[in-house]
Amino acid sequence: MLDIKFVRENPDKVKENIKKKFQDEKIKLVDEVIELDEKQRKLKQEGDNLRSERNNISSSIGALMREKKIDEANEMKEKVKDINDKLVELEQQEMELADAVKTRMMVIPNIIDDSVPIGKDDSENVEVQRFGDPVVPKYDIPYHADIIESLNGLDKEAAGRTSGEGFYYLMGDIARLHEAMIAYGRDYMIEQGFTYAIPPFMIHSAVVEGVMSFPEMQAMMYKIEGEDLYLIGTSEHSMIGKFKDQILKAEELPITMTSYSPCFRKEGGSHGLEERGLYRVHQFEKQEMIVICEPEESMAWYEKMWRFTVNVFRNLDIPVRQLECCSGDLADLKVKSCDIEAWSPRQQKYFEVGSCSTLGDAQARRLGIRAKGNEGTYYVHTLNNTVLASPRGLIALIENNYQEDGSIKIPKVLQPYMGGKQIIEPQK
């Protein structure tokens, strides 16, 4: 959410930003916000004037009573009553206007960084750089679900009986490999100085509205019936929510944390679920990272954070690339974002395995997260990034470490988590 003062003083810049995001239907909201804000401020001023008048009158009543001027004192009391009635009316109108302003402000997109490429959707995202050489072996690589099934590691049929489409059982060495990847991502981030956390897997609606836009929430999140709780779609939500309504000490910044959680997503819409495979499912596990920092440090942290993900995947012998998200592909709260995509030797193309974003002070404003320094309090900046999510990361690892005999090489960094095992062989 933008600063209302910024919108008031820079309406043309806000409108131009909306155009860059190809959301022209929201342009009218800027003028509506400015008009409603002006009315609200006038009402507030009128209310302040009435309160001042009431205080003056109230002070005089005591003097009149002491002077036995009862009738005059009673007249003053009636004036105070009239002012109080008027204030109740003004405060109600002011509250309604404040709600109207907030409703509009919540859907006006954040100001994107000047470096963000302009484009309508993810088809216009821009490749920035590659890490590792993408290899296509001379032998065929089967579909990932078929590989995992040959290793007795997947049962979607049973999951269909227990839970329905979009769920799965991972078993045996594949389940162990899945957890090894998550554990390695955790330990890698701890080595970078991040504090490890396991957050709540359900959060209140006030936190949801603080970390994401309403359309995102509707498309992604499962609500617990009869309770003000949502299952998290990513641990970033509860990790940023941890600091809701807090005033942090400036000397404590930056706060750097890495968190583990299961994640739950509807995965509705045009892309749908993957019937056989594990690429798009309702439930997965993820190691995440978040940073809360000084405003002037957020871009430097952004550059550090996505590189951590690159390093994790390269250590797993997986080639990756960085893809800059264009303006139309950015969620409304984001200032700048990039995807990390892993190479698929089977499809001979890259696919998304993680995303890094800086949101400026948008989440901090919505959640009331501030820092206190020498010159007073101010809103902090928040960032988030995927360390490693599985099963997407598992798919990338299996394809890039698949051997002609049907076995899977286990990267060296994962072998300690697999009891020293170096290879997973097909079951006979």
- pLDDT for res 270: 45
3 state SS for 273-304: CCCCCCCCCCEEEEEEEEEEECHHHHHHHHHH
Phi, psi torsion values for 250, nearest 5 degrees: -55, -35
Q: Where are the beta strands (DSSP E) in 345-416?
A: 349-358, 370-373, 376-379, 381-390, 408-409
User: Would you identify the CATH topology of the domain 4-105?
Assistant: Helix Hairpins (1.10.287)
- pLDDT for res 267: 78
How far apart are the C-alpha atoms of 3 and 378, rounded to whole Å? Answer: 12
Q: Which two tokens stand for residue 316?
A: 């797993």
Q: Tell me if residue 141 falls in helix, strand or coil.
A: coil
Q: Which two tokens stand for residue 363?
A: 């989440």
How far apart are the C-alpha atoms of 359 and 366, rounded to whole Å? Answer: 12
- pLDDT for res 274: 58
pTM of the model: 0.90
Side-chain half-sphere exposure of 97, counting CA atoms within 13 A: 19
Yes or no: domain 122-424 corresponds to CATH 3.30.930.10: yes
Q: Alpha helix locations (H) across 21-118? A: 27-66, 70-105
- pLDDT for res 268: 58
- pLDDT for res 258: 98
Indicate the domain borders of the chain.
4-105, 122-424
Enclosing H/E stretch for 225: none
pLDDT in tens, 138-158: 999 999 999 999 999 999 999
- pLDDT for res 73: 80
At residue 333's C-alpha, the angle toward residues 331 and 335, to 5°, is: 90
Residues of the chain with pLDDT under 50: 269-270
How far apart are the C-alpha atoms of 234 and 213, rounded to whole Å? Answer: 14
Pairing label, strands 202-203, 195-197: unpaired
